[in-house]
Amino acid sequence: MPELPEVETLKAQLAQVLPGKIIKEIQICSQKNWQGDPQAASGFQIVDVSRRGKSLIIHLSKLETRNSKLSLVIHLKMTGQLIFEPHGEGDPSHLKHRLAGGHPTADFINQLPSKHTRVIIYFTDGSVLYFNDQRKFGWVKLIPTGQIDQVKFLDRLGPEPWDFTETKWQQIIHSSKKPIKLRLMDQEQISGIGNIYANDALWVAKIDPRRPASSLTPQESKNLRQAVIQVLEEGIKFGGATAQDGKYVDLKGLGGHYQEHFKAYQREGQPCLRHDGGTINRVSLGGRGTFWCPVCQK
DNA sequence: TTAAATGTTTAAAT
DNA sequence: CATTTAAACATTTA
């Protein structure tokens, strides 16, 4: 489910509770969504949690075996979710409730494991991390940290959105005739931008998502980079987008609130927030819902 | 019943 | 060969 801001939010939350935990056992419920030997992780301690594009990386090490290092690389795709269940009173993370992120479903608050649970990581202190995914598109890979750059998917990722020089940005925008929205979402060019933030960034930059990327003027490209960074930072500020209706958000303070600040995404038929008389239109681009205001986005 | 859902990969068509 | 597009993956919800 998540795009960069959602994964970043999840990373920040997990980084507060996972470091120091020692893996007791990893249980694979769905072979399709797992890669690696789960037994190899036993006794490894979590060092830290990081993010690359839309993927989450949990770093592990084990002093007993010459300080060897492993990493869990996780991609939630459309409907993945990670839920951390503290084991109770004595948990050093001092969490009262579970911590949940990713695609919002009833599993956030229901009994776990559920029928959507694909991987379960048990820690020695009794706490548990669940990887759920109803559509089974997501995956978890356990690999030696030294080989992390060779992981298929990670090896082809473009730079993070804020790591571009103006020159490089202009180059990737102008070197394709694909609709600009699809260019923004191309992970091999820029990592982390998905459908929500691509729609909203184009609205902020006042650019029609259907235009060929190569047709943007240098000034429009420049504005677009600003817009992308703006909406991503806004997404991170609000803790990502988690639900349209707040159904699972408010119960225990789980989830983010960016969904309350959508600018164009999912606003079909509603008046443009610029109050310019335009109504948000919708078409399908690359099979994904594309939303824009025909009045201000040229 | 049909369409769509916050993503990536692979096959097919240009 | 490079670029684009469509289909596939599997499931739920509107």
**pTM summary value:** 0.94
pLDDT at A277: 95
Distance of CA A46 to the CA centre of its chain: 20
Shortest CA distance to A124 belongs to which of A272, A47, A22, A53? A22
User: Does nucleic acid strand C have an atom less than 7 angstroms from the CB of A176?
Assistant: yes
Q: What is the 3-state secondary structure (H, E, C) of chain A?
A: CCCHHHHHHHHHHHHHHCCCCEEEEEEECCHHHEECCHHHHCCCEEEEEEEECCEEEEEEEEHHHCCEEEEEEEECCCCEEEEEECCCCCCCCCCCCCEEEECCCHHHCCCCCCCCEEEEEEECCCCEEEEEECCCCCEEEEEEHHHHHHCCCHHHCCCCHHHCCHHHHHHHHHCCCCEHHHHHHCCCCCCCCCHHHHHHHHHHCCCCCCCEHHHCCHHHHHHHHHHHHHHHHHHHHCCCCCCCCCCCCCCCCCCCCHHHHCCCCCCCCCECCCCCCCECEEEEECCEEEEECCCCCC
Q: How far is it, in rounded angstroms, from Cα A296 to Cα A263?
A: 13
Bases in strand C with any atom closer than 7 Å to a protein CB: 3-13
User: Could you tell me the distance in Å between the CA of residue A83 and the C1' of nucleotide C2?
Assistant: 42
The average pLDDT across A219-234 equals: 97
pLDDT at A242: 77
User: Does nucleic acid strand C have an atom less than 7 angstroms from the CB of A1?
Assistant: no
Model confidence band, residue A165 (pLDDT cutoffs 50, 70, 90) = very high
pLDDT at A88: 67
User: Does nucleic acid strand C have an atom less than 7 angstroms from the CB of A115?
Assistant: yes
Q: What percent of chain A has pLDDT over 90?
A: 83
Catalytic residues of A: 2-3, 54, 288
**Nearest nucleic acid nucleotide to A136, CA to C1' distance:** C10
CB A102 within 8 A of CB A137: no
The average pLDDT across A162-177 equals: 94
What pLDDT digit, counting tens, does each position of A63-120 carry?
Answer: 898 889 999 999 999 999 999 999 866 666 666 778 889 988 889 888 999 999 999 9
What pLDDT digit, counting tens, does each position of A172-213 carry?
Answer: 999 999 999 999 999 999 999 999 999 999 999 999 999 999
Residue A282 burial (10 A CB sphere; 0-12, 13-18, 19+): middle
**Nearest nucleic acid nucleotide to A137, CA to C1' distance:** C9
The average pLDDT across A270-279 equals: 96
pLDDT at A1: 56
pLDDT at A241: 85
User: Could you tell me the distance in Å between the CA of residue A100 and the C1' of nucleotide C11?
Assistant: 20
